[in-house]
């Protein structure tokens, strides 16, 4: 999946720049889509081989996502063995499943034979156990064993994401022997950036980057220039944890070892970048109250995945309504309160979501924890006080003039200040407490924060008004 392999395979032609299939905004060009569509309809295999089969895997992926389902199936069929299965790692899961289901196991097996092991695993792991076994059975022995070993590791583990192809040499070899081995051995991986040093049982002893080999004289022993690998990654480590190690220590690649410290594969930054992107994506989606839906999902799937969050929010909405109903009599007397009360609740919600967003991110990036929470809490409450005073005064003035009543102005200003401070506290404490309780703060914080700002907003404004007009 790295560009090293790409350039070596030379799939993109120099006189036909790859970016060409895209419009300025990054969509696939409509005229290209039309031309491909026509070629599919005409069964113009020659055009497809020349203009589609040569696309970069990610371009082919974008193309697959941009055409109709029946066009996808027809195109994959027409391309036959010229269809690069790596493109399947670049499309939405729903589209991948749809394409794979319409391919014969023989075609999949033929295509998978040419892939890097991490890409092969990525495609195989979503298949039925039966299909997977049938495909594996058609692969050469070594490859089958390697893929099976990777598939044996738990889902989303480093073992699933690793490449099982690597270059390893014994520590007693010289630099010269190593270079000669690399010049002569035909079975080396397509591309690599480091050489691992292992003992006869495959136990990982060290690592050497290629620039070190190139800069060292031929007679020098490997063991004298090898480096200890500071961060060997256990194959069953979760991919997110592995991504954090990559990020923290700016790793480009890392050895993956089994429970006995034996080298089983290598994890590279390009796979980790995908994991990081998925992570950030997940946080954004969760904060917005949506699950892992994709643009290609069906209406029913999406509706089903979004309803639960709406139902939880409905509970808080009724909670807020029941707070309002406590003050029915006051509202009947002063209708202005009904008109203004959504402002108090809504602005509290906005301020609360600001604090909450910062808090959720700080927890995710591990910048915030129980130890510095107090310092941050003091700061957030101060910000709540300042912004509460500013916005409260402004709202008070506007409302006072609108309803020609300074009482209304004073009441809403005070309620606003109270709710802004409540919003700051809730926006900070809810994610921290959820995190401590072992829940994902990104998923559920918003509901609790809104519940607090809504009820506080309505209660403070209507409560203050009831009390004020009662004594007034």
For a second copy, the closer of residues 138 and 244 by Cβ is: 244
Between 131 and 301, whose beta carbon lies closer to a second copy? 301
Give the DSSP per-residue string, 201-216.
T-BEEEEEEHHHHHTS
Long-range contacts of 128-133 (CB under 8 A, 24+ apart): 131/105
For a second copy, the closer of residues 172 and 231 by Cβ is 231
> Tokens standing for 313?
């929010």
Burial class (CB in 10 A: 0-12, 13-18, 19+), 215: exposed
* Shortest Å distance, C-beta 469 to a second copy: 16
d(CA 73, CA 164): 31
Q: Which residues of 305-315 are buried (b: 16+ CB within 10 A; e: fewer)?
A: eeeebeebeee
Terminal Cα-to-Cα distance of the chain (whole angstroms) = 74
Per-residue DSSP letter, 253? E
Q: H-helix or E-strand containing 197?
A: strand 194-198
DSSP for 324-352, please give it. HHTTHHHHHH-THHHHHHHHHHHHHHHHH
Residue 89 CB neighbour total at 10 angstroms: 21
Q: Which two tokens stand for residue 58?
A: 């990610």
Which DSSP symbol is given to 117? H
Measured from the CB atom, is 96 or 132 closer to a second copy? Answer: 96
Q: Which residue has the tokens 């590791």?
A: 153
Work out how close the CB of 251 gets to a second copy at its nearest, in angstroms, rounded to a whole number.
Answer: 4
- DSSP assignment of 163-191 equals B----EE-TTSBHHHHHHHHHH-TTS-S-
Kindly state the smallest distance separating residue 425's Cβ from a second copy, in Å. 15
Min separation Cβ 260 and a second copy, Å: 19
In the bound state with a second copy, the residue whose beta carbon lies nearer, of 145 and 321, is 321
Report the nearest approach of a second copy to the CB of residue 157 (Å): 19
Instruction: Indicate the residue among 171 and 346 with the shorter CB distance to a second copy.
Output: 346
Write down the least CB distance from residue 113 to a second copy, Å: 21
Q: Round to whole Å and give the CA distance between 402 and 420.
A: 22
Strand, helix or coil for residue 22: strand
Q: Which residue lies nearer to a second copy by CB, 1 or 103? A: 1
CA-based nearest residue to 174, from 124, 225, 139, 132: 225
Nearest approach in angstroms of CB 168 to a second copy is: 14
In the complex, what is the shortest distance from the CB of residue 420 to a second copy, in angstroms, rounded to a whole number?
A: 9
Nearest distance, CB of residue 209 and a second copy, angstroms: 5
Q: Which is nearer to a second copy, 106 or 314 (CB)?
A: 314
CB of 317 to a second copy, least distance (A): 4
Strand 168-169 versus strand 194-198 pairing type = parallel
**Nearest CB to a second copy, comparing residues 12 and 138:** 12
Nearer to a second copy, 139 or 334 (CB): 334
Structure tokens at 437: 């309780």
């Amino acid at each position: 999946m790295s560009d090293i392999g790409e350039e070596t395979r030379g799939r993109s032609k120099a006189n036909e720049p790859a970016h060409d299939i895209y419009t300025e905004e990054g969509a696939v060009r409509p005229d290209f889509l039309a031309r491909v569509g026509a070629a599919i309809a005409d069964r113009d295999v020659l055009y497809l081989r020349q203009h589609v089969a040569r696309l970069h895997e990610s371009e082919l992926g974008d193309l697959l996502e941009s055409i109709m389902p029946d066009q996808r199936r027809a195109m994959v069929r027409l391309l036959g063995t010229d269809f690069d299965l790596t493109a399947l790692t670049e499309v939405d899961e729903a589209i991948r499943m749809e394409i794979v289901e319409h391919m014969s196991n023989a075609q999949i097996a033929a295509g998978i034979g040419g892939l890097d092991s991490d890409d092969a695993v990525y495609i195989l792991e979503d298949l039925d156990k039966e299909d997977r076994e049938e495909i594996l059975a058609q692969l050469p022995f070594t490859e089958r064993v390697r893929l099976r070993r990777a598939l044996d590791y738990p889902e989303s583990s480093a073992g699933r994401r690793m490449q099982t192809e690597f270059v390893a040499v014994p520590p007693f070899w010289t630099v010269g022997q190593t270079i000669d081995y690399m010049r002569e051995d035909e079975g080396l991986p397509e591309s690599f950036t480091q050489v691992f040093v292992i003992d006869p049982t495959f136990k990982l002893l060290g690592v050497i980057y290629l620039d070190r080999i190139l800069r060292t004289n031929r007679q020098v022993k490997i063991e004298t220039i090898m480096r200890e690998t500071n961060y060997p990654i256990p194959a069953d480590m979760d991919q997110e944890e592995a991504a954090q190690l990559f990020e923290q220590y700016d790793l480009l690649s890392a050895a993956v070892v089994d429970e006995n410290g034996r080298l089983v594969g290598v994890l590279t930054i390009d796979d980790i970048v995908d994991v990081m992107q998925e992570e950030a994506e997940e946080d954004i989606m969760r904060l917005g109250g949506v699950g892992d839906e994709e643009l290609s999902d069906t209406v029913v799937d999406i509706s089903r995945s979004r309803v639960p969050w709406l139902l939880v929010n409905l509970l808080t909405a009724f909670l807020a309504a029941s707070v309002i109903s406590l003050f029915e009599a006051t509202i009947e007397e002063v209708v202005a309160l009904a008109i203004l009360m959504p402002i108090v609740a809504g602005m509290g919600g906005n301020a609360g979501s600001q604090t909450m967003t910062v808090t959720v991110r700080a927890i995710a990036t591990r910048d915030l924890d129980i130890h510095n929470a107090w310092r941050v809490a003091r700061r957030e409450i101060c910000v709540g006080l300042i912004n509460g005073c500013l916005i409260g005064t402004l709202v008070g003035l506007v409302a006072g003039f609108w309803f020609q009543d300074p009482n209304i102005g004073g009441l809403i200003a005070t309620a606003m200040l109270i709710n802004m401070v409540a919003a700051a506290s809730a926006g900070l404490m809810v994610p921290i407490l959820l995190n401590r309780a072992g829940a994902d703060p990104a998923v559920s914080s918003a509901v609790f924060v809104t519940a607090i700002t809504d009820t506080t907003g309505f209660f403070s404004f209507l409560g203050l008004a009831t009390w004020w007009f009662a004594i007034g």
